[in-house]
Amino acid sequence: MLRKHPDAPVTGERGSSTNVEIKVTETPDDLINLTSLWQKYIEFKRKYWSPTTYANSGLVFAKRFSNLKNQDLRFPQKIQQELFENFSMDAVKRSCIQIKAAINWGLQERIISNLTSSPA
């Protein structure tokens, strides 16, 4: 994964910048899990959602996701399987839509980068 170094110097003409990229090898402990990604996502969305949407969607899914034992975003099938074991088909579908939205946001915001699982 490549990350921009926070102390990279800003140089160039008219607002252009030079970015220093550092290659980082992540271990599973360094990876963001589903619950922490969801917390960041709903904090971002809170300014766009009504208080009712925040309470009825954001916090409901937060509780649902925090109760899952499978939190590793590199293995979405395990998360989906656990959802199927505990919730209705409709609830699983809505949960997966929300997880996908959070992952897409996380990728766009560079909170997460590469969710490819490493070979075992």
- CATH code assigned at 68: 1.10.150
Number of domains in the chain: 1
Which segment of 3-7, 21-25, 36-40 scores lowest on mean pLDDT?
21-25
For residue 74, being part of any structural domain is answered with yes
Measuring CA to CA, which residue among 44, 10, 38, 55 is closest to residue 95? 38
- Residues forming beta bridges with residue 44, ordered by sequence position: none
Look at residue 114 and tell me if it is in a domain: no
Is residue 81, in this structure, part of any structural domain at all?
yes
Does 32 fall in a domain?
yes
- The share of the chain scoring above pLDDT 70, in percent, equals 69
pLDDT for the residue 31: 74
For residue 24, pLDDT over 80 is answered with no
Q: Is the distance from CB of 68 to CB of 79 less than 8 angstroms?
A: yes
pLDDT value for 115: 66
Q: Does residue 61 carry a pLDDT above 90? A: yes
Residue 47, domain extent: 28-108
Is 46 a domain residue?
Answer: yes
